[in-house]
Amino acid sequence: MRLQRQFTGQKITLDTSNLIASGGEGRIFPVVEDSSLVAKIYHKPTEEDADKLTVMFNNPPQTLTVMPGVTAIAWPVDLLCTPDNKRKIVGFLMPSVTRSLPIHTFYTPKTRRERKPLFNYLYLHRTARNLVASVTDLHASGYVIGDVNESNILVSDTALVTLVDTDSFQVRDPDTKTVYRCPVGKAEFTPPELQGQTFRDRDRTPEHDRFGLAVLIFQLLMEGTHPFSGVYKGSGDPPAIETRIKAGHFVYGNNRVPYKPMPLAPSFEILHPKLQELFLRCFQDGHTNPKARPDARTWLLTLIEAEENLLTCDKYSQHRYGRHLNTCPWCERTSKLGGRDPFPSREAVQQGLHLQPLKPKRKRRSTVRLASPLRSAQSLIPTNAIQPQTTVRQAVTSSRSRYRPRTRTISNGLSPQIQSLMLNLIQGAILGGIWGVACSSAIMAIMFGFFRGTGGILGGMFVGTIWGAFFGVSISMFLPPPRGLNRWKAFIVGSFCGAMIAAAISGILFGALTGEMVVGQTLLWGAFLGLIWGSIWCVFKPPLSLPTTGGVRGLTGAVSGSVWGAVLGSITGAVLAIAAVLWSEWQVQMSLTLSPKLVSQMLVMAMVAAGLGALGGILSGATFGSIGGVPPLPLSMKMVGTKGAIVGGIWGNFLGAIAGAAVGAIAAVIFPDFLSSTSGEAMPMFLGAMVVSAGVGAVWGTISGIVWGALGQF
């Protein structure tokens, strides 16, 4: 079958003799010219399908890949159309991914024992953590999964997660506000307010996804047990699972329900206490108030904490359990299951002991009816399970990344961590130095152009603005979203970049032609400041950022970049100022004596430089964050101690710098005589007041944030 890519125009061939998978909507085939791609072709393609796919292609989630070759969210790479003049959209392309299985393979004890016996409780926590990270990205980008279920989530041996069947997601066109609904759903993962509803008539919300997400997390950490499955204690036939969900009969909640936990289900207490609280919020409080359900980011932070609190059993290294427990629950569960270990050792797996059948027990008659149409702890794989050879995933961009559980490696040279640190340090120093020279020359050129009336510089900036706008719009015509920008964004970004590039070039040429000493000093200072800035940024990236794949952009990126820029700028400025004062003192005295005068001078200079660095960092971070992307902001779950102090200090620094600059600006306008004894220099006095006040605010805010964060009030 010959088809054509919609956005590149390339013609491709599908190997229709090698069907990968087939479903109710379409079939999936490999691409002959590129083995890394597969194509989904609809049985009955419609114009609505084409419109929906186009919106998805133009507006991808912020992060799609975990690392090169590993996809987090399967997303259309390109649309496929017929090669004739009609160019009808019939499907889409996506990267091919192998070596992954549906998530129920890992949380169902029987299938995990048979296919992935060494996938222990730590890996199950990591799987849940990676899952919610992907859902966080989707919701942040305005998408809703809708059909949350165990077949649309694939997991690798290293707990990396991929969301598939993305063309069934609910999509909202950001331009026309048209909503392309998700018409399907599975009862076991559908929230109570949607049970019995026709999905084609309902707009889904993130609160609906949160219910299904919580069910999957519960099953991952509770040996496949559904939160609404249990032994029915009433009379008559046990209610169906959708009836239980609609009635809010969470078996492990505080409310009285006509069920008791399944006999082979683990105890609810094996979960980290904060995870227990979140499940109660979702299934109990969220029954009547969907907004009470924890969002994906809240799950992410709590799962990170729960994973960090896992201990290794003294008897069996494959047993991991929470620090809040006194004994290993998996040892007790092994005894309860007649010697069958839910997380067998490597030796047992190598000898095949984990697959030995249980010893037969006497059958006892019972009139008690067990729950549910769900998979229990011993259920079989469904007949329609996706096999690893037939899994389909899509590829495309990066992370701030889903993490693999740690493994030990042996190296003859430097460790990978040291190599990575050195590489980031060198890369950051080079890029930062170049950026520092470019920024300092541009700023210096703008100042010379406006304050000295240097026409050549202003003319160069004007020409650069025109050419930048022209190239930005031209590129957007040949490189549409998601790789490019839309026309207006490309025009604005191109104009700004053109003006800055022209200013940087004009500044360097101006200094070379006129011999201005200040130009050389400015460039050296900019290179030094940029070198340090870039090194810090690339090494730390920065600390405490959330484990999602890739950075955030746009307005969110601008805010995130501003926060990180304020922190790094104020710290860098203060350190450099203190170093400059000490170096000056050394050159004059040839010795260093910390006299009260020297200390006072260092504090004043550090305060001024911190304010200048904070304001400059906010502007630079906002620019970089909106265009290039930055790590997400560090959030807290009422952290205490060291982590709370760090997070509080970061936020306190940013807010303090902003507040200080605002106060300084207001004071400069209201009390000009008080702040400056000279007249006719309103602008320098105004800027000076802002810089000094920003430095004071940054220092004050950092200290206050550290105190509040350490005490858990942040």
**Which residue blocks in 256-378 are alpha helix, DSSP H?**
273-283, 296-308, 329-336, 346-350
Q: Could you give the 3-state DSSP secondary structure of residue 154?
A: strand
Tokens of 200: 């084609």
Q: Could you give the 3-state DSSP secondary structure of residue 672?
A: helix
CA 308 from chain centre, in angstroms, equals 19
Q: Could you give the 3-state DSSP secondary structure of residue 101?
A: strand
Q: Could you give the 3-state DSSP secondary structure of residue 87?
A: coil
CA 368 from chain centre, in angstroms, equals 46
Query: Which residue has 């930048």 as its token pair?
Result: 468
Nearest-10 Cα torsion for 677, 682, 683, 684:
-10
Q: Would you say the C-alpha torsion 423, 428, 433, 438 has a positive or negative sign?
A: positive
Cα dist from 245 to 20, 132, 283, 340, 469, whole Å: 35, 22, 9, 32, 56
Length of the chain: 714
Cα dist from 409 to 274, 310, 406, 415, 681, whole Å: 33, 22, 9, 9, 63
Q: Which residues does the annotation mark as catalytic? A: 147
Question: Which of 538, 689, 561, 547 is CA-nearest to residue 616?
Answer: 561
Region at 178 (left for phi over 0; alpha for psi -120 to 50; beta for the rest): beta
The C-alpha atoms of residue 21 and residue 29 are separated, in whole angstroms, by 7
State the angle between helix axes of 641-670 and 682-710 in degrees (0 to 180), rounded to the nearest 10.
160
| Beta carbons of 318 and 120 less than 8 angstroms apart | yes
Tokens of 235: 């009379």
Residues facing residue 321 across a β-bridge: 311
CA 542 from chain centre, in angstroms, equals 14
Region at 533 (left for phi over 0; alpha for psi -120 to 50; beta for the rest): alpha
Backbone angles phi, psi at 152, to 5 degrees: -100, 15
Q: Could you give the 3-state DSSP secondary structure of residue 152?
A: coil
- DSSP H/E element including 260: strand 259-260
The C-alpha atoms of residue 182 and residue 167 are separated, in whole angstroms, by 9
Backbone angles phi, psi at 423, to 5 degrees: -65, -45
Cβ count within 10 A of residue 339: 11
Nearest-10 Cα torsion for 470, 472, 473, 474:
80
| Beta carbons of 115 and 386 less than 8 angstroms apart | no
| Beta carbons of 672 and 642 less than 8 angstroms apart | no
CA 337 from chain centre, in angstroms, equals 39
